[in-house]
Amino acid sequence: MKIAIASDHKGYHLKTTLISYLQKKGFDVIDLGTDSVISVDYPKYAFSLCEKVVNKEVDFGIVICGTGIGVSIACNKVKGIRCAKVDNVKEAKLTREDNDANVLALNGSMMSFKAKDIVDVFLKTKFSDLERHNRRIKMINDYEEGLEDER
């Protein structure tokens, strides 16, 4: 499985920890930056990651910023992305089962052991493919299409 990961400056340390963790578990990880704790604009990194996910260059994306909120908002502006800002393993499981989320957003100050547990659950959980969940995802996709038509 191929994973793209990106962060802003406040997520840099957690990002480097997760890269090492995922590589040790055998995942192919693409690091899309940032490469330090020097202040950067998170949308640039979020959009770069989303392009990889939408173009099927990776299976999933993980984005990290100070709260996880900013990167999740940015990611969800990209057509075809379903990004969930997750704080616990239950949310990680449900966002994959119910929403078929393809990007995980994390809080950069989260303890690494908690982030690793969340990432593990997110990556191993399959989409339920239940009719009601497919219907809801279709509603989201159709709304995105409608906005494209208006532009």
Q: What is the token pair recorded at 33?
A: 């930056």
Tell me the CATH number at 8: 3.40.1400.10
Task: Please report how many Cα atoms fall inside a 13 Å half-sphere around the Cα of residue 99, on the Cβ side.
Answer: 19
Average pLDDT of the segment spanning 143-150: 67
Q: Give how many domains the chain has, as a whole number.
A: 1
Residue for token digits 């950069």?
A: 108
Taking a C-beta distance cutoff of 8 angstroms, is the pair 101, 84 a contact?
Answer: yes
Domain span at residue 47 reads 2-150
Tens digits of per-residue pLDDT, 91-130?
Answer: 999 999 999 999 999 999 999 999 999 999 999 999 999 9
Looking at the chain, the whole-number percentage of residues with pLDDT higher than 70 is 96
Tens digits of per-residue pLDDT, 26-58?
Answer: 999 999 999 999 999 999 999 999 999 999 999
pTM: 0.94
pLDDT for residue 147 is more than 70: no
Average pLDDT of the segment spanning 52-66: 98
pLDDT for residue 145 is more than 80: no
Scored b (16 or more CB within 10 A) or e, 2-18 reads ebbbbbbbbbbebbeeb
